[in-house]
Amino acid sequence: MKNNDKQATSACPQQAAGLRKHRLCAAVLLTLGPALSLPVSAQSYVNYDGTPTADAAAALASWTNHTEFKTDWGLGAMNAQYAYAAGLSGLGIKLGAVDSGLLLTHKEFVARDVKALDVVGTYANDGAQYQDGRQSWKAGDAFNVAGGLSPLNDKHGSHVSGSIAAAKNGEGIMGVAFASEYHITNTNGTDSSVYGVNMDYNYFKAAYGNLAEAGVRAINSSWGSPDARDDFGSIGGVAAAYQRLQGGNKKSWLDAAAEVAQASNTLLVWAAGNAGKSNVNIRSALPYFRPELEQNWIAVAALNATSTLPSFSNQCGLARWWCLSAPGSAITSLDITSDSALVNASGTSMAAPHVTGALGLLMERYPTLDNQAIRTILLSTAKHLGSGPVDVPNAMFGWGMPDLNKALNGPAQLLGVFNANIAAGRSDTWSNDISEAALIQRKSDERAQLAVWQATVVSSLQAAADSAAVQVTARVNSGYDEALALVQARAQRNAAYQASKKKEDNTAFQDADKAVKANALAAMLLKQSGTGTPVGKEQLLAAMIAADPDTMALADYNGQRAYLDAVKTKTDADYAGSFVKTGEGSLTLSGNNSYSGGTRLLGGTLGVGSSTALGSGPLVMAEGTTLRAEADQLALGNAVSLSGEGRIDTQAFTLTLNQGIADGSAKGSLFKQGEGTLRVLGPLTYSGNTTIVAGTLSVPAFTLAANQMLTVGVTSPTRYGKLAVTGAANFAPDARLAVDVYQTAALGRGQTLAGVITAGSLNAPRLNVSDNSLLFDFQPVVSATAVDLNIVEVTSIQQVAQTTLTPGAPSTNTPAINTPTTNTPATNTPATNTPATNTPATNTPATNTPATNTPATNTPTTNTAAAAPAAPAAPAAPAAPAAATPAAILAPTPAPTPAVRPSPSVLAAAAAAARVAPVLDRQIRNPSSADMAQVVTALGRMPDPESLLRAVSQTLPRDISASAIRGSMATLNRVIAARTDAVSSGSAGLGSGLSSGEAGADRQAWIMPFESRTSQGDRDAESGFSASTWGMATGVETELESGRIGLSYAYASTSAEGNTAITGSGSRSRIESNMLALYGTVPLGTLSLAWQADVGRNGNRLSREMQFGGLHRIASSRYATWDAHVGTNLSVTLPVNEALSLVPALQLDYTRLQSPSYAESGAGDLNLSVQGKRSQALLLGTAARLNYALTPASQISTYLGASYDVINDRDDLVATYAGAPGQSFTTPGPARSPWLLKAGVSYRFKLVEAADILLRFDAEGRSGFINQSAAIKASWRF
């Protein structure tokens, strides 16, 4: 055994991250060789050894030349090498079988993790495993049968299992789906078990049901032999077998299998039988009597190596519509004589597992298709064998041999409704030509069969059968004894020969056998009796009557009844193939398709790679779906209907729809995408809106009602959506034309979008033009054959900011533009006393003003006719809709509403934007560079005041570093204070904490790790922040003649993030702080003076994000700041009792922070140059500490204090955009409250005689600001 890990072996290479996670040859590979249309990046194929290759021929050869592949000739016959080279192996697919056990220890399965399922329950009826009554049971008896091989089994189940799923391990054989997840349940018998009325419903409901419950998608049934009375040579004979199976007023084992298939939608694969008859056995034929089962049924005849039916194989016959032929002669697979034994076997039992394995490969290839779609692909792509049209199944071979090369390219026919479910994130291409040839032929055959059947005179058939019965009865009565003697003589001669093995005895047996065959009654008697006791006269009579041609004619007529009753209910639509695309993924059809039942696009994207890709029926598109052209100059003949918004993406191609576009089951809207041209030659009758995101929509005529909207997308002044009407274009008065600028790459005043609408003749009395830009408007210029749009500036950032900050001010918006019916635009007289017609969603009045600065007069707007175009009309100034998405952006203009005060965050954004508005407004009017033009374009995409103000505020400097440094300094200062507090309060409770009388007790070393959290709320247009700091401080100190002195070093790392409520985007700062401090205490009688002086350096790495209007930039900077601090604390200890003392104190602290000038990088012209600054604080404060000695070795302290900042610096920032040098602006820092409150609690205890531990928590805060810290300090005396 070379490799026990065979269950993990796949055609795809195993990577370190796991086979499922990384497969170069994903199952979306379609095929190799001539069908290289694989939807993956860079064609990758897989060699037999699992290594990837770009050489398709080499990959195929690596499989076909390997002995393990060649051992089963059926693999090559089905073109399985194409599936393997494409990376398919059945991995993850659950396949199963009901059969006579499996030798689980065989080397082909020992490492395959086979799920051998138990069959447990009680029998429903009396029965037996074999025709002669052996291995019987009674109703109510219990059964509990393991799935593995048992003494009651033969090799059949192991042989079948090997063909389906034997491991690929470099030796022996490999199953068709060698990496599938294989399951098996046990029939509790052998291949001689009879699948007749003797078998039990409960047992097989459990056998099939357990597999289905485990998730098995295809179940192979090759087990057993038919009832000896069954004759599949005619429809009547098959019908008789069906009636026998249904006898006894009880459910049969086949009922159980059918119920499982229907309940779980499992596919059942059936061996067609080995009687050499013209029809399949009864279990394979069941859908003929129960047509609803056909979608779950596949029957399989056997083929030999020359692709002909061996003499033993039943033909497909009446099951040809659901029948295949597969390799079933001299097939090598598992034997059970040892754990490595192999054996050749023949039969349809060997053919069926090849089909089951093929299903597993296709289920992996198409992971989101349902079982019916997989079945359709397998049947319709099979290689035709025998006579008749190549695309129609025949009575001998059915659909033919599975072709696992062609099957990788989608279905070749539709057998009804085909559901192509492609899940989100997946894409695929199907290149097979898709027809409905079999449906067309089936319609012809079935209707002809029905006509003959209906024309048959049943009474004549019955009379002939009755007459034949009389004659047969007479023959049996007169000839039974002779026939019985011949059969008995044959049995005696056979017994003698078996005992002696002499030649003369064999000759005598052969003569007796010929005599039996020469006598029709004796031959039938032998057939009915088998090797048992000859049947009686009545049984022989029944068999002879059933075999009589006249009786068979009547039986054939009656046998067709159920099938033809179903045919009578079929309509023409049942014989037309229809294609349904579901799922949010993408599928491209590139074949020459001829199905006529239409295409329903219900989800995701459907690409067309040929002009006949959608067959000849209509295309129905559901809401949000996309039809995409995948080649140039395609012309689809399908009528298109839209239910909701249907998207047609031409990409860069020209796509022609020869018919029109109409409403579907709901109101439809057209959404045209792609830079190419969509030509619609038929009428547009849908009642919704039209959006042209890019490219050109060309139509013969166009009408836009007042309740409809035409939207054009703008990418640049030369690339925008266009409507080209070859005939007449009629726009109702006040018809809406919307402009979507969100994807534009360049936008500025003075630009013109020429020919947005062109027509042979144009009637547009008044166009109501709207857009999703607050800063710009689009002024229409209408002529007799075209509409151009001029871009004009309608407001400024400064106006928007001022109006937002003063919401009581009246709006200055002008009404939407009404274009005159003639070629003369309206005059430039602004309207008077007219309220704004468009307000943003926030109900904040817009600040858009007329183009001139002339006060409004009482002159009304007029439409003056002229012979030639005059100056453009005053620009419209509608405020933008509520959201930035095109649907909302281009919604109808809302009615005016009373002014409502904006939210605090919007007010803050307005206050921030107001400071830089003059600079940016100048850029809007005249960009200083190409990069600044991009910034202007991004600002122009903002649809409402709130989004515009937020965008502007993102471009301002963020001062989170300085604020975070102050928080970090406060934390570091408290670290030192923790030391001086301990010294200055040493007379209470624990005393000095020194070990009295010890040498060297006046020296100490200490270390203190700490962590803090700082939060600053948004205040006065300045975004707040949150910061976290961790660090470590250490120091040494000693006692002087009068007082103590110490030296400390501290390191702190701070991460700060700016709030996003005002700007809508984030900023981050990383600060590395280093501080050196000198501190001490001096006794002043009963008072104690603590002092501290420190200096620090802070390395800053700051980034701020700007993301608006399609612009996304991150400005980064690095610089260092210096800080210095001196502080004093004058305190007195007031003992309350032996354990409690109060320590009031006065405090004075001065802090100075020096920041250098710095310049950002990474944001182009929005990089800022920020001037250096100095900020100071002078805090006067008072505090009180309460110390309580819990024990002689431990103390708890609480602290409360307040300080007032005499300076209270606001930290204004002066900055300049890189794209606007010399135009500086100032952004004030937040107005902080001068009052600062402090509180804390600590616990100190003596760890050992020479060491103390201090736990401390502190907090300080002012309005909108809080800093909290926790620390643990350990000190050692030496």
Active site residues: 99, 156, 349
Q: CA 151 → CA 109, 208, 336, 872, 960, distances in Å?
A: 19, 22, 11, 98, 81
Token pair for 833: 């006393």
CA 761 to chain centre: 47
For 249, residues 6+ apart whose C-beta sits below 8 A from its C-beta are none
At residue 454, what is the residue type?
A: Q
Q: E strands along 422-541, which residues?
A: 427-430
- Count of positions (residues) in the chain: 1278
At residue 203, what is the residue type?
A: Y
| Closest of 317, 191, 324, 186 to residue 267, by C-alpha | 324
| Closest of 1044, 899, 1070, 909 to residue 980, by C-alpha | 1044
Decide if 1023 contacts 904 (C-beta within 8 A). Answer: no
**How many angstroms separate the CA atoms of 1098 and 1118, rounded?**
11
Helices (H), 342-382: 348-365, 371-380
At residue 225, what is the residue type?
A: S
| Closest of 129, 138, 258 to residue 187, by C-alpha | 129
DSSP states of 687-699: -S-EEE-SSEEEE
Q: What is residue 893's DSSP assignment?
A: P
Decide if 1096 contacts 1136 (C-beta within 8 A). Answer: no
| Percentages (nearest 5) of helix, strand, coil residues in the chain | 25, 30, 40
Task: Say if residue 928 is exposed, middle or buried (CB neighbours under 10 Å; 0-12, 13-18, 19+).
Answer: middle
As beta bridge partners, residue 982 has none
Q: E strands along 706-799, which residues?
A: 709-716, 719-720, 722-731, 735-740, 752-763, 767-771, 776-782, 786-793
Bridge-based pairing state of the strands 709-716 and 735-740: parallel
Token pair for 779: 């002024």
Reported for 244-252, long-range contacts at CB under 8 A and 24+ positions apart, including other chains, are 244/196, 244/197, 245/196, 245/197, 245/282, 247/197, 248/125, 248/197, 250/124, 250/125, 250/201, 251/124, 251/201, 252/197, 252/199, 252/201
**How many angstroms separate the CA atoms of 534 and 137, rounded?**
25
| Closest of 1198, 1228, 1224, 1235 to residue 1213, by C-alpha | 1228
Bridge-based pairing state of the strands 1044-1058 and 1025-1039: antiparallel
DSSP states of 1086-1099: TEEEEEEEEEEEEE
Token pair for 408: 């990788």
| Rg, Å, the chain Cα set | 45
Q: E strands along 368-523, which residues?
A: 417-421, 427-430
The 3-state secondary structure of 501-516 reads: CCHHHHHHHHHHHHHH
Token pair for 1205: 């900042």
Q: What is residue 523's DSSP assignment?
A: H
Token pair for 28: 């979306």
> H/E element holding 454?
helix 437-455
Task: Say if residue 885 is exposed, middle or buried (CB neighbours under 10 Å; 0-12, 13-18, 19+).
Answer: middle
